[in-house]
Amino acid sequence: MKCDVAIIGAGPSGLLLAHLLQQAGLEPVVLERRSMDYVLGRIRAGVLEKTTTELLERLGLDARMKAEGLIHDGFHLADGENLIRIDLAELTGSSVMVYGQSEVQQDLIDAIPQRGLNIVWEAEDVTLHNVDSDSPSVTYSSGGESHTLNPRFIAGCDGFHGPSRKAIPASAGTGHERVYPFGWLGILADVPPCDDELIYANHANGFALASMRSQTRSRYYIQAPLDTNLDDWSDDRIWDELAIRLGPDAGSKITRGPSIEKSIAPLRSFVFEPMKYGSLFLAGDAAHIVPPTGAKGLNLAASDVIYLSDALIAFFKSGDKDALDKYSARALARIWKSERFSWYLTSLMHQFPEHSSFEREMQRAELDYIANSRAARESIAENYIGLPL
């Protein structure tokens, strides 16, 4: 079967790209190894930069986001006692949208039938062939039968563990990685949030985050060792620890309730370059991972997709290969800046096992500097709302 672009992976980056290409009159085919229900069930972060919200508007998939999403003009950094407000609106003239990644995923999937996207769910044994040539192919099995796609290009949007990046020879790329010695223990509960804005807290016990999915559903996290056993953390124990780490003001406003989901996620920073090899392009988590501290994961995937879709459309419409050749360098310039910001906030707000009292005091000094320096708050705000494309 021939198509213009084979997209590996039906997460946000894959489906955003598919919708953009379909909107431009191209013929993408999406292969996803999981079921639709599984993909919809993944709970992820949900702070959207203006670049991402504008992309959903461009696709005409913004109605529910505008009706249910929460516009945030700021957020807080906490040092255990004091709250430092980063006033996004006043410092940058912009804001962010709190709207869960699972909701974005739902909107992208709901539009598939009406827009006629060709997507294969539960595609097994996906293998990429001849990606260094102008005639790549993708083989897979579905419904007990073997199939072959013959696209002009392949877009690897299949996450950190997918087959796309593995199709690039080790000699042709470099992976840069920082694995953090802790994870985030998260709890989701149908309770109102403790504050109207997100709170990122630095405490001697470890990091904590107070966030929300809506006015009636809250998402909280605490820093925890990677070998943490969830069975050791009852709901009451998590609520107690959150009240301590968030500080007396926010802690006193926590509404407790039974968890509807608990999990622990490791943290890593990762960048693979280049993001182009022959006829294969990487986008989203296939090429880069950021710790969630800076709220950049989904937003970086969106900017990758904007760059890549523009380049692919220019090639198919006019034969222009220049943007395709520049895709990797263009995307990586923004990725590395976002990696820097995510690494900075992670380093500032977490307790590291190897840190001495000196590093702890440096964190305190940095937070005090931010609290008393408009320039420092402006730099944080500029990065949080998203750097220009």
Taking the C-alpha atoms of 16, 22, 27 and 28 in order, what is their torsion angle to the nearest 10 degrees?
10
Which member of 140, 292, 307, 327 is catalytic? 292
Tell me which residue of 78, 19, 70, 15 sits closest to 47, measured CA to CA: 70
Q: Is 292 a catalytic residue?
A: yes
Per-residue pLDDT of the chain (389 residues; tens, 9 = 90+): 999 999 999 999 999 999 999 999 999 999 999 999 999 887 676 899 999 999 999 999 999 999 999 999 999 999 877 899 999 999 999 999 999 899 999 999 999 999 999 999 999 999 999 999 999 999 999 999 999 999 999 999 999 999 999 999 999 999 999 999 999 999 999 999 999 999 999 999 999 999 998 999 999 999 999 999 999 999 999 999 999 999 999 999 999 999 999 999 999 999 999 999 999 999 999 999 999 999 999 999 999 999 999 999 999 999 999 999 999 999 999 999 999 999 999 999 999 999 999 999 999 999 999 999 999 999 999 999 999 99
Which member of 99, 221, 307, 384 is catalytic? 384
- For position 46, what pLDDT does the model report? 84
> Does residue 206 come out as left (phi exceeding 0), alpha (psi in the -120 to 50 range) or beta?
left
- For position 22, what pLDDT does the model report? 97
How far is Cα 349 from Cα 351, in angstroms, rounded to an integer? 7
Which member of 99, 180, 200, 220 is catalytic? 200
- For position 80, what pLDDT does the model report? 75
Which member of 12, 19, 28, 72 is catalytic? 72
The CATH class given to the 180-267+351-385 domain equals alpha beta
Residue for token digits 């001849």? 130
The third-level CATH classification (topology) of the domain covering 2-70+98-177+269-346 is: FAD/NAD(P)-binding domain (3.50.50)
Strand partners, 85: 76
Long-range contacts of 133-141 (CB under 8 A, 24+ apart): 133/278, 133/279, 134/279, 135/279, 136/6, 136/278, 136/279, 136/280, 138/6, 138/8, 138/31, 140/31
**Residue boundaries of the structural domains of the chain:** 2-70+98-177+269-346, 180-267+351-385
Which member of 296, 307, 327, 350 is catalytic? 296
pTM above 0.85, yes or no: yes
Q: Is 72 a catalytic residue?
A: yes
Query: Which residues, at least 6 apart from 109, have a Cβ–Cβ distance to it below 8 Å?
Result: 10, 15, 36, 39, 40
Q: Is 296 a catalytic residue?
A: yes
